[in-house]
Structure 1
Amino acid sequence: QKKSFNSLLPEIQEVIKAVMEKDCISSCQADELGILWQYRHYLYDYSNLLPWILQGQINWDFSHLSEIYDLLGLWKKLDPMQSLELLLPQYSDTHVREFACRCLQDMPTDELIDFLPQLIQALKFESYHGSALAKLLLEQACKSIRFAHQLFWLLKGAAQDQGYKRRYELMFVALVSVAGDALYQEFKKQEEMVKCLTQTSERVQVAKDKDNTLKRELQTVYELFHDKGDVLMPYNPGISVCGLDLKSCSYFTSNAVPLKLVFKNSKEHADPVYSMFKVGDDLRQDMLTLQMIRIMDRLWLKQGLDLKMITFSCLATGPKKGMVEIVTESDTLRKIQVSSGVTGSFKDRPIKEWLQKHNPTELEYQKAVENFTRSCAGYCVATYVLGICDRHNDNIMLKQSGHMFHIDFNKFLGDAQMFGNIKRDRVPFVLTSDMAYVINNGEKQNNNFQEFVDMCCQAFNILRKNTNLFLNLFALLSKSGIPGIHKDAARYIQRVLLPGQTSVQASAIFTRYSDIVYTFFHPLLRDEQEAQKENLGIQKFRESQVQLVPQGSPFGQVKLSLEYKKSTLMIMVMHAKDLPGGSTLPSPYVKIYLLPDPDKQTKRKTKIVKDSTHPTYNEVIEYKMSDNDMRMKTLQVSVWDHDRLGENNLIGAVYIKLRNINLTGDNVQWYNLDRIQVTDASMLA
């Protein structure tokens, strides 16, 4: 019988709420799990607690199974992405796994395909070949050719695991049976094409005369199309090709000597299809990384955050071989930088000039800058969370439309290359001065970069809200054999997503980790100081004075995030903008008081940002106090210009009566600064 959660004793409610805040790989005490099982009938409105509740049932013998199955019958369906947790090996009961599959049926096939690598690995944890999960995969394959193609190639790869070869072979036979003869014949053509390309690649690798060897060996592929007709691309069955443009095919000069293939599109007047075929590298890491980035982008889009992400198709067609889609109208950053001369890599203008060249009108260029800024933010967050290493200007690419994207993901989860005892990758992600030059539109500092930082923090916090999804996805791959995936992979993801931190705290930590404001952006500001030193004729005010100036004076703005949670007032000082300059640029810092405060016990300061009218701080200041005390306070936020040799000077201030603001959620707002400093609390009544 369902009962109300609010009827539980307060101390029991607190225990349960504490468990709700834990992620799925954190540990719970035995007494906590016992409470969840004991009071399970009070928790039907909290469906996400089901995995914890099931762990709280110690006895899974026959006499207790009826209680568990009754619970599953009454429990409402989980969100499909959360139900992935019930496919982990610790949930071995058939009925529990059937419940998970019923939840997954609510996910559209086009979304479910994003989780197919993990679902195929989850087959290893089933008790029987004919499991509910196996049936689900076959049913989805009947609904979607794209799903069937992906399932076909992933099953071929999974069957390399000798311990589970029999199960995957049975799934393979079942897929061919339900797919029908026409699709089976298509699979055979793709396999034959891959076999020919593998042979060609291997011979080109060892040949001295690679050019002639390539032309000779590709004749086999050319003849395949002549004999078999059109072939669907293995990595994307939505693309049909009818031949090879032999004159345009070539090879890359990297160690594996990948083939650059130009296929003729079956659609008349359609563009050719550019692909790379590689033998010698394990592409499963690249597949996994691109899968995670696609899932991240889907989560961002669901929250209304469009970061203009570009990914490309990648498919491992066998052990250490596979095909990769080539993104057209794009170049590596190295090529773009070198186009500006030998020292192009050390200049700030090459990326901007390259984008202007390919986007000649102002409207086109501004759109390209927006694409660049947003995609740069997305890849900064994605590469940080996934611990992508070995980032340099040869594996970061840029489309003519401004979209930036990364390639070559053979180092991830923090597996940095080492030079002796020194890590080659010493920053969490790559953001160079020439990237900042584009984001900030080059000539003068403005709030573009602050918006970029805010997008990074927003994207990061969206991923944090979906921590369990990523932990489950990596946990399901623990026995996949993918290089770099080990039992602690999920722990790495858990650690970088900052468990236990609020969104405000996580934003501050993320900004501090990346050091994006100082390490990469601030050197650019120093180069541009001379162009910005305009004397605005603003008289500076001493910190010891009380000044009153009419509102509306142009003293800039400050962006704050205010939240009250668990008897703590959290104030994040995010940015300031449009601060007045003078004969020299200000070096601003922010000072905070909670008034009235005659003894100045609540005084707090941020760091000093040198020579900037648009500083970014993202620093969190916390005050422990009751709700009643907090609502009696007025928040004083003042911005000061630091003077190393004399007294600091007031730039502007704002006063916020906390009783007038709803602080139950994250309250983010820009506040106008005025030339006013109040030291008498009676003036704030």
Structure 2
Amino acid sequence: MQHALLNELDRIQDVVRSVDDLGKKIRILQDEMVILDSNLLQQKVKLPIHPSFDCCGIRLQSCSVFNSNAKPLKVVFRGLDKDYAIIHKKDDDMRQDAFVLMMVNEMVRIWKANDLDLRIVTFRVMPVGYKKGMGELVSNCATLLEIQKDDGFTGVMKDEVLQKWLEKHNTSEFTFKEASENFTRSCAAWCVITYVLGIGDRHNDNILVTTKGHVFHIDFGKYMGDWQMAAGFRRDRVPFVFTSEMFFVINGGRNQATESYQTFIDYCCKAFNCLRRNRTNLTNLLRMMACSDVPGINMDSLAFVEKNLMLDLSETNATMQFTEMIQSSLKSLSTRLNFVAHTLAQFMSSSSSFTKKDNSSLSFIPQLYTVQTDGRIKDVRVRGFEKRNSPSKVYLYKIEVVRENISVPHFVYRSFAEFEELHEKLRKRFPMMQLSVPSGGSRMRSNVRAAAHKRMSDIELYLRNLFSQPNEIRQCDLVYTFFHSILRDNKNDSSSTEDENMDRSQCQVFLKISHNSIQQKLNVFVGHVKNLAMLPTNAAPDAYVKVYLRPDPQNFSKRKTNIVKSSQNPTFNQELSYDHFPVDLLSTRVLEVSVWNNGGLMDNHKMYMVYIPLVRLSAIPDDRKGIRTVEKWYPCEKNI
């Protein structure tokens, strides 16, 4: 029966692929799936990819065709108590995907064995014959392209679209915080995975995000340095995909580095060094598979992975190197250009999907709410407006919502554009509705405070008229969804507060100080600095760190890091070394560490400093390699 099912899916894919028109493809697929569904109702089948799943039918309306060259099928099988969705591919070698996921699962095992949980979502892939197979479809997720399409074709150029999508699907502060942590950890994991395995052909249609924030990749046809080429040029020009929209999410909706970004870098470097320490687990798998006929797996691929693991470097130097790769990937324009090119190709092939709008729901709230779920609304009033930056400037109107049997009202914040969206969708659902659009004409076009103030009376009038409509309109799910509390209603926007630029806590610097008694060498690893104050010009400093060994009247011991521009939370991950430093000097020297702002020629100034007596290091015994180490966050005093 399993062979019969696979042969039938192959036949259906061939039939669908022979048709050019997308609408006709879907109709043919539905007709074929009706026949397959009736056959499965008569005889249950255990799916090859998931033998414990008894397939007893097909969810006909959930099946579709993917818009790629091979035109694979999306099939949702109906089980006894749950559904199971797969992608069925023909004329595509699924052994490569299966091998990559085997390596990914081994990496996850290594990380968890070292107490590093990066919250990776994995899925099953099973080759079932020559150039054919099936893969499990992860539920409640979307590709970056689908997320960007919410803002139309220009969404691919906007940093905030991914952040807004996660906020839309995580409406409480707790769930959004959890989703942000999932995103940070899993994004770090896939940066390491795609770099080590040399996975190429990365674009916004094979990078996905779940509604809970987990990042994962699919489609591993290009790997082990087999880069995607276009017109003779290599399209994959970065070590791995780490984009500005990912940076924006990790930093909590900001375009400046925060402590969360420092944590992300730490996750990346720890994960990378874990794999380096356990390299034999990975290389043994590669050696065993090198004799197979899986494309791209041979002794050259083993050498490729060993080279990417940087086995000739120390852990500190590997950390420094990987940090540089994170920065180069973030700053590169090639990834964004790849995304734009792929989006344009998809737009040309199915432009209707970019302009299609769902009139049954609101764009900024993923599901519908009703009077039964939220309680009947007694009164709604406009109580003012606030300016927010997310990241572009927008004025949000503070709406007080009073409900039956709830003594304390709650407040929601909605933009004028969202009121217009509500009205447009109400008008399409109720064409005979006697309700005017909440607009004052051309005088309302400017996004300035004066215009926002004038619009308050229009919105107040619109709300009075809305709740004087018949129950069919005023109690419909669109209205109750509009006034349902979402994430922005439960948190304060830091960009609108007056004390945004004030120090919230003391400046600190993370240092790892180590001494090698065999080599007689002192190393000072400068990791992160956090909570730097803004400059008097209201700009973030261009920071760097200086280190001295005192006493040193001539300043011969001066060492300094590179400059990190425009950041209150810079990451350096650089090592500063002192040779010919015997262990007995530790008790007589003090390490002076200072944080400076690079203000241009002859205009540098010291911002913070801390003195660390090295006698603390001398009290620590050597390990078996003759190294003693202390690493911690050191609070810094502000330089007056």
Per-residue deviation, 1:518: 6.3
Please state if 1:467 is matched with 2:282: no
1:623 paired with 2:573, answer no
Match of 1:457 in 2: 269
8 Å contact kept, 2:253–2:390: no
Inter-partner Cα distance in structure 2 for 1:341 and 1:220: 37
- 1:237 counterpart = 2:51: yes
Within the candidate set 248, 252, 267, 1:441 is matched to: 252
Is the CA contact (8 Å cut-off) linking 2:238 and 2:332 kept in structure 1?
no
Amino acid at match of 2:544: Y
Q: 1:582 aligns with which of 525, 528, 535?
A: 535
Q: Structure 1: which amino acid aligns with 2:514?
A: E
Q: Letter of the aligned partner of 1:457 in structure 2?
A: C
Q: CA deviation at 1:626?
A: 4.9
Q: 2:301 aligns with which of 478, 489, 493?
A: 489
Q: CA RMSD in A?
A: 3.0
Q: Aligned equivalents of 1:224 and 1:297: distance in 2?
A: 40
Alignment-mate amino acid for residue 49 of structure 2: Y
After superposition, residues 480-559 of structure 1 pair within 5 angstroms as 480-515=292-327, 519=331, 556-559=507-510
Aligned match for 2:634, one of 671, 680, 683: 671
Distance 2:37 2:500 in 1: 71
Deviation of the 1:473 alpha carbon: 1.0
Mapped pair 1:614 → 2:569: yes
- Cα displacement (A) at 1:501: 1.8
Q: 2:94 aligns with which of 274, 283, 306?
A: 283
Contact 1:589 1:639 in 2 (8 A): yes
Alignment partners' CA distance in 2, 1:593 and 1:221: 76
1:644 aligns with 2:600: yes
Instruction: Give the Cα separation in 1 of the matches to 2:19 and 2:541.
Output: 63
Please state which structure has a larger fraction of its residues in strand.
2
TM-score (norm 1): 0.64
Q: Residues 396, 564 of structure 1: CA spacing in aligned structure 2 closer, same or farther, 3 A cutoff?
A: same
Residues 120-164 of structure 1: per-residue CA shift (max 9 Å, x gap): xxxxxxxxxxxxxxxxxxxxxxxxxxxxxxxxxxxxxxxxxxxxx
C-alpha distance in 1, partners of 2:16/2:629? 59
Structure 1 residues 667 and 293: alpha-carbon distance in aligned structure 2, compared to 1, 3 A threshold: farther
SS of residue paired to 1:343: helix
Partner of 2:515: 564
Q: 1:591·1:604 contact (CA, 8 Å) conserved in 2? A: yes
Normalised by the size of structure 2, how large is the TM-score? 0.68
Q: Does 1:250 align with 2:250?
A: no
Of residues 371, 382, 392, the one that matches 2:193 is 382
2:242/2:329 contact within 8 Å kept = no
Q: What's 2:43 paired with?
A: 228
Task: Give the aligned partner of residue 210 of structure 1.
Answer: 25
Matches within 5 A, 1:153-172: none
| C-alpha separation in 1, matches of 2:67 and 2:500 | 55
The residue matched to 1:477 in structure 2 has which SS?
Answer: helix
Query: Contact (CA 8 Å) 2:591, 2:611: kept in 1 or not?
Result: yes
Which of 552, 566, 590 lines up with 1:597 in the alignment? 552
Contact 1:640-1:651 within 8 A present in 2 as well: yes
Match of 2:217 in 1: 406
Q: Is this contact kept in 2: 1:369–1:439, CA < 8 A?
A: yes
Is the contact between residue 316 and residue 323 of structure 1 (CA under 8 Å) also seen in structure 2? yes
Q: 1:451 to 1:525 in 2, by over 3 A?
A: farther
SS of the equivalent of 1:515 reads helix
State the Cα distance separating 1:519 from its structure 2 match.
1.7
Moved more, 596-605 or 608-617: 596-605
Distance 1:518 1:436, change over 3 A: closer
Matched-pair contact (CA < 8 Å) for 1:371–1:402:
yes
| Structure 2 counterparts to residues 67-466 of structure 1, below 5 A | 189-207=1-19, 209-218=24-33, 221-229=36-44, 231-267=45-81, 270=82, 272-443=83-254, 445-466=257-278
> What secondary structure, in the 3-state scheme, does the structure 1 residue paired with 2:290 have?
coil
Write the distance in 2 (CA, Å) between the matches of 1:605 and 1:435: 30
Aligned with 1:488: secondary structure? helix
Output the CA distance in 2 between the equivalents of 1:525 and 1:515: 24
Of 285, 290, 294, the residue aligned with 1:478 is 290
Give the 3 Å change call, closer, same or farther, for CA 441–535 of structure 1 in structure 2: closer
Return the alpha-carbon distance in structure 2 between the equivalents of residues 282 and 378 of structure 1.
25
Contact 1:348 1:433 in 2 (8 A): yes
Change (3 A) 1:228 1:507: same
What amino acid maps onto 2:513 in structure 1? L
User: For residue 70 of structure 1, what is the aligned residue in structure 2?
Assistant: none
CA 1:396–1:537 in 2, change beyond 3 Å: closer, same or farther? closer
* More displaced stretch, 479-488 vs 664-673: 664-673
**How far has the Cα of 1:409 moved from its partner?**
0.9
Counterpart of 2:365 in structure 1 is none
Same amino acid, percent of matched pairs: 38
Measured in 2, the distance between the counterparts of 1:562 and 1:479 equals: 46
Report the Cα distance in structure 1 between the residues aligned to 2:605 and 2:132, rounded to whole angstroms. 64
- The one-letter code of the counterpart of 1:465 is R
Structure 1 residues 317 and 535, CA, compared in 2 at 3 Å: closer, same or farther?
A: closer
Change (3 A) 1:556 1:526: farther
Helix, strand or coil at the partner of 2:523: strand
For the 8 Å contact 2:148–2:155, the answer to whether it is kept is: yes
CA offset digits 1:407-435 (Å, max 9, x no partner): 11111112211234432111111111111
CA offsets 1:8-28 (integer angstroms, 9 cap, x no match): xxxxxxxxxxxxxxxxxxxxx
Equivalent position amino acid for 1:228 in 2: Q
Give the corresponding residue for 1:179: none
Which stretch has the larger CA shift, 256-265 or 566-575?
A: 566-575
Q: Which residue of 1 aligns with 2:616?
A: 660
SS in structure 2 at match of 1:275: strand
Judge conservation of contact 1:431–1:516 (CA < 8 Å) in 2: no
Q: Secondary structure at the match of 2:237?
A: coil
Counterpart code for 1:306: D
How many angstroms apart in 1 are the aligned matches of 2:536 and 2:332? Answer: 25
Q: Which runs of 5+ in 1 are unaligned?
A: 1-188, 539-552, 678-685
2:6 alignment partner, SS class: helix
3-state SS of paired residue (1:240): strand
- C-alpha separation between the residues in 2 aligned to 1:435 and 1:324? 26
The count of residues paired between Structure 1 and Structure 2 equals: 470
Aligned 8 A contact 1:285 1:409 in 2 = yes
Question: After superposition, what is the alpha-carbon deviation per residue over 1:321-355, rounded to whole angstroms, capped at 9, x for unaligned?
Answer: 00011111111111111202321111111111111
Residues in 2 aligned to 1:468 and 1:531: alpha-carbon distance in whole angstroms: 52
Question: Hey, what's the Cα distance between the residues in 2 that align with 1:520 and 1:457?
Answer: 20
Q: 1:192: Cα distance to partner?
A: 2.6
SS of the residue corresponding to residue 560 of structure 1 reads: strand
Q: Which amino acid aligns with 1:190?
A: Q
4+ runs of 1 displaced by more than 4 Å?
A: 523-538
- Contact kept, 8 Å, 2:607 with 2:639, in 1: the verdict is no
Cα contact 1:640–1:652 (8 A) shared by 2: yes
CA contact (8 A) 1:436 1:520 kept: no
CA displacement at 1:505 relative to structure 2: 1.2
**Measured at CA, do residues 604 and 324 of structure 1 come closer, stay the same or move farther in structure 2, by a change above 3 Å?**
same
CA drift of 1:462 comes to 0.7
Given that 2:209 and 2:215 are in contact with CA atoms closer than 8 Å, whether structure 1 keeps it comes out as yes
